[in-house]
Amino acid sequence: MEITITWPELVAVLVLAVGGCLLAVFMFLAHARRDKLEQENLKSELLKLGEHIEGIGRRLNELESRAGSPGKEEAEAETPHDAYDNAVQYARQGMIAAEIASLCGISRDEATLIVALHHKDREG
């Protein structure tokens, strides 16, 4: 049994093979383009997030500078006497005992006593 391939059949097979190869190439290129678009979208989102984080950092710095840094006074207090002087000042400004104790490095009981003695509402 002999198989004979005619020219039209050979051309048809070659056209189908080339068409299949072209289809595979186009599918690959479409996939690569979609991946590139996704990467660009991700980069864009990362840039937006970075800008947002920078904005939050600037806002935080602005708020810290507006509020001042009570922690600076704590660091500057070299003696226990300075800590108590600062605590008295805070009490006169109306600060609560828990905040004063935290800022001045004294016990909460000491801060409560200072607030009781020097709170702005007591001054007449």
Split into its structural domains, the chain has a count of 2
Instruction: Tell whether 49 and 84 lie within a shared domain.
Output: no
- DSSP E strands in the chain: the ranges are none
**Structure confidence at residue 1 (pLDDT):** 79
For residue 23, give Cα distances in angstroms to 19, 54, 62, 88.
6, 47, 58, 83
* Residue given tokens 């226990």 in the structure block: 80
**Structure confidence at residue 123 (pLDDT):** 52
In tens, the pLDDT along 28-83 reads 999 999 999 999 999 999 999 999 999 898 888 888 888 765 555 545 544 677 88
State the residue range of the domain holding 106.
70-118
Instruction: Tell whether 60 and 75 lie within a shared domain.
Output: no
Instruction: Tell whether 80 and 108 lie within a shared domain.
Output: yes
Judged against a pLDDT cut of 70, whether residue 19 lies above it is answered with yes
- In this prediction, residue 101 has a pLDDT band, given cuts at 50, 70 and 90, of very high
Q: What is the CA radius of gyration of the chain?
A: 38
The overall average pLDDT reported for the chain is: 86
**Structure confidence at residue 26 (pLDDT):** 95
Instruction: Tell whether 52 and 98 lie within a shared domain.
Output: no
